[in-house]
Amino acid sequence: MVFNSYTFIVFFAIMLVLHYLPFTWKTKKINLLLGSYVFYAAWNPPFILLLWLSTVIDFFVGRKLYHEENKTRKKVLLVVSLIGNLGMLCFFKYGEFLLENFVALVNLFGMDYHPADPGIILPAGISFYTFTTLCYTIDMYKKESQPVKSLLDFSLFVTFFPHLVAGPIVRPPQLVPQFEHPKLATTKQFLDGLLLLSVGLFMKVVVADSLLASTADAVFNAPMPLAALDSWTGVLAFSGQIFMDFAGYSTCAIGVAMCLGFSLPQNFNNPYAAIGFSDFWKRWHITLSAWLRDYLYIPLGGNRKGKVRMYMALMLTMLLGGLWHGASWTFVVWGGLHGFYLWAEKFISEKRNANGLAPVRKTGLTGFSLAMLTFLLICITWVFFRADTFGKAGMLLLSMAGFFGSEGFMLLSTTAILKVAIVIPCMLLLQWMMRNRQLTHEAYRLSWWKLGVAWSFLVLMIVWAQESGSAFIYFQF
């Protein structure tokens, strides 16, 4: 089930009615849990067993980890949890990838080995709920938070349907305490939630799917070299599509949770207005960035063990972050490019500090110019994120550089180019203007009739473009 479907509207209406009827709080939580299983089962019901398995193992192992004083037993319990969670993730998400690379390796040494296709189906959102449960057991091992008292609360924490499939990635202290006492949205909170849901659907259905997706697909699926204009248009279209799609989902998720009286963490903060790459990762997929920082970068040494160790930890974190997104070497290269950008940024910053130079201005024309440079460099990384193979990625990069000259094929229509030429600059300017602002705060600064007209326009556009809607991109991760 996806947010941009009429089925979800019916489902959400039912969940709202059940949540606001005068049931006991325990009954309402059971309703939310069962509803979350129904939401997930709409893809493939048998995969609910994986959710149950992950939930039950980590609930009991986490409690035991917190109270266990014997260090050896604690490590064994942690290994059990890691094997259970990462084992499932590796099998379902990386099984075929590992097999393909193993076959390529043995064939390289002269062995004619061709196993049958395992036909592994990737469960929706497995990377998200695996990271959600992993952070709980690791926190229990470190005793950084209290164990969840109720299996019902822990199950709802893992499977709460707004964040289940594509985040935000939540941690127990962010959500579990909200299940301990009755939660109902205030009138303002409910309206804020509906507004965010409307904005998120507009971003996904109208902008990502209707205006940008076809152009991005045409360019990235082209079998021939393209003209530079067509190549850049396609890459810019995908840069807008991936943001509008994923940020649209997160905005919907936060809005849906808000309508039920719950608060989810912010996951995007105008990332294309970022000045530099550290700033970008503080604004793009914020909950994943924080997870990788706390559970990978810092344990690898972080900033505490010298520059060499820091640079190694940074690159390894970004490489694994790339691999988290998909079982392909192109994703690893995408992560590696971001690691290189962060390396270069840190090196330049250290040199400037050593020479006593003033910090770079982050306002006005200077700040905007640096933000646009950051955006263009990020667009280059999106080539590897979207391309199926290195061959396609290389051909597209050469096309963008004008390498093929007049031999490059002119694929896109004038209308397609104009759509991207209008949508992307508008997106960049809007993000720059909203760089340090919140959408709901700005919305309520408008008069009631202006807000009403704008909101009605969003809804009408969503209904008009609904037939072009598709599944969210990050469902595959």
Task: For residues 119 and 224, state if they share a domain.
Answer: no
17 with 119, same domain: the answer is yes
Residues 150 and 209 in one domain: no
Residue 448 φ/ψ, nearest 5 degrees: -60, -35
Q: Alpha-carbon distance 154 to 57, whole Å?
A: 11
Distance of alpha carbon 439 from alpha carbon 454, whole angstroms = 13
* Alpha-carbon dihedral 77, 80, 83, 84, rounded to 10 degrees: -120
Tally of structural domains, the chain:
2
Residue 436 burial by CB count (10 A; 0-12/13-18/19+): exposed, middle or buried? exposed
State percent of the chain over pLDDT 70. Answer: 97
Asked if residue 356 lies in contact with residue 257, where contact means CB atoms within 8 angstroms, the answer is no
- Tell me the percentage of the chain whose pLDDT exceeds 90: 53
Residue identified by tokens 């690691």 is 339
Task: Enter the tokens of residue 345.
Answer: 């940024």
Cα–Cα separations (whole angstroms), residue 245 to 105, 240, 401, 427, 474: 37, 8, 27, 13, 8
Nearest to 395 by CA among 253, 231, 261: 231
In a domain? residue 320: no
Q: Are 224 and 165 contained in the same domain?
A: no
282-313 burial, b if ≥16 CB within 10 A, otherwise e? Answer: ebbbbbbbbbbebbbbeebbbeeeeeeebeeb
Provide, for the chain, the percentages of residues in helix, strand and coil under a 3-state DSSP scheme, each rounded to the nearest 5.
75, 0, 25
Q: Give the domain-ending residue among 184, 204, 233.
A: 184
- Tell me the per-residue pLDDT of 53-73, one tens digit each, with 9 for 90 and over: 889 888 999 899 888 888 888
For 434-456, what is the mean pLDDT? 86
| Same-domain check for residues 123 and 145 | yes
Q: How would you class 410 by CB atoms within 10 Å of its CB: exposed for 0-12, middle for 13-18, buried for 19 or more?
A: exposed
Q: Which position has the token pair 């050593």?
A: 354
100 and 148 in a single domain? The answer is yes
The answer to whether residue 193 is domain-embedded is yes
Task: Say whether pLDDT at 409 is over 90.
Answer: no
Secondary structure of residue 409 in the 3-state scheme: strand
Lookup result for tokens 């893992």: 158
Confidence check: pLDDT of 451 > 90: no
> What angle do helix axes 187-201 and 448-465 make, rounded to 10 degrees?
40
Helices (H) and strands (E) in the chain, counts: 20, 0
Note whether residue 340 is domain-resident. no
- Residue range 114-139: mean pLDDT, rounded: 81
Mind telling me the catalytic residues?
325
Residue in 367, 347, 193, 212 with CA at minimum distance from that of residue 279: 367
- Shared-domain flag, residues 203 and 63: no
CA distances from 260 to 12, 20, 158, 222 (A): 10, 9, 17, 44
CA 401 to chain centre: 29
Residues 207 and 85 in one domain: no
> Are residue 60 and residue 194 in the same domain, yes or no?
no
User: Which residues form the domain of 72?
Assistant: 6-184
Per residue in 143-198, pLDDT (tens digit) is 888 899 899 999 999 999 999 888 799 999 999 999 989 989 999 999 999 999 99
Residue 318 lies in a domain: no
d(CA 156, CA 59): 12
Q: Which of 153, 184, 215 is the last residue of a domain?
A: 184
pLDDT in tens, 240-277: 999 999 999 999 999 999 999 999 999 999 999 999 99
- Nearest-angstrom CA–CA distance, 332 and 328: 7
Whether residue 107 is found in the same domain as residue 203: no
Residue 210 · residue 183 · CB < 8 Å: no
In this predicted structure, what is the pLDDT of residue 468?
59
**Domain finish residue from 184, 215, 235:** 184
For 329, counting Cβ atoms within 10 Å of its Cβ (0-12 exposed, 13-18 middle, 19+ buried), the class is: middle
C-beta of residue 153 within 8 angstroms of C-beta of residue 29 = yes
| 419: CB partners within 8 A, 6+ apart | 211, 212, 215
What does 66-90 look like in DSSP terms, one character per residue?
HH---HHHHHHHHHHHHHHHHHHHH
Average pLDDT, the chain: 89
Asked whether 47 and 123 are in contact (CB, 8 A), the reply is yes
C-alpha to C-alpha distance for 320 and 326, rounded to whole angstroms: 10
- List, for residues 127-145, the tens digit of each pLDDT value: 888 888 888 999 999 888 8
Domain membership flag for residue 281: no
Considering only CA atoms, which of 376, 332, 111, 121 is closest in space to residue 236? 376
Segment 205-211 shows an average pLDDT of: 92
Distance, in Å, from the CA atom of 143 to the CA atom of 133, rounded to the nearest integer, reads: 15
Check: pTM over 0.85? Answer yes or no. Answer: yes
Statement to judge: residues 170 and 200 lie in one domain: no
For residue 386, being part of any structural domain is answered with yes
Whether residue 397 is contained in a domain is answered as yes
How crowded is the C-beta side of 181, counted as CA atoms within 13 Å?
A: 2
Structure tokens at 17: 């009615």
**Preceding peptide of 173 cis, ω within 30°:** no
Q: Are residues 397 and 414 in the same domain?
A: yes
Length in residues, the chain: 477
Amino acid at 24: T
Q: Which of 377, 374, 411 is nearest to 397 (CA)?
A: 377
| 47 within domain boundaries | yes
